[in-house]
Amino acid sequence: MVVAAPRYSGGGDKKARVCAGLTKDSQGPGRLADRIEALLARRLVDTLGLARRAGHAVAGFERVAEAVRGGRAAVLVAALDGAEGSLRKLAALGRDLPRVTALTAAEIGAAFGRDHVVNAALGPGPLSRRLVADAMKLAGFRADAAVVQAASAGPGGPARGKDRLERDERRN
């Protein structure tokens, strides 16, 4: 036995009902840009959190400095609202590394399970490349955001990081 569903009997013009539904909850272009910015920021925070859980990210100036000196850092992350002195020290420390300044200290802290984090570093690999690519997109929406690519570094980090990544990929 086949039973057909009853037809909509709401009356009125179908086109008018559709247009009313679209205009009721529609968002203007400014709200769309805000939503995209929030989603990109969330993606960066999620990428940082994933890198932290995988053991590829460290937070805090001393740990970042240790990772850079040991050659385990491929990307440096600095908070937008961090102190100028801290940003200068980080830039001097990792001259040959890409530097991402696209998130606030609270956003970086959320990735590390803390209130706020000003400095972080990611090791070489796909997560660091994804972070740099997404940060470049976010920099198009945030006025103060920037991604500084070092002359000797690509999105995956300096040459030594890329070589190590290629060796690790060949092993797998």
Q: How confident is the model at residue 160 (pLDDT cuts 50, 70, 90)?
A: very low
C-beta pairs of 48-54 under 8 Å, 24+ apart in sequence: 48/77, 48/103, 48/108, 48/111, 48/112, 48/120, 48/122, 48/131, 49/110, 49/111, 49/112, 50/127, 51/122, 51/123, 51/127, 51/128, 51/131, 52/111, 52/112, 54/127
pLDDT of residue 162: 43
Superfamily of the domain at 56-171? Ribosomal protein L30/S12 (3.30.1330.30)
Q: What is the pLDDT of residues 5-60, one digit of tens each?
A: 444 455 555 555 555 555 544 556 679 999 999 999 999 999 999 999 999 999 99
pLDDT of residue 150: 75
Q: What is the pLDDT of residues 80-104, one digit of tens each?
A: 998 888 888 888 888 899 999 999 9
List the chain domain ranges: 56-171
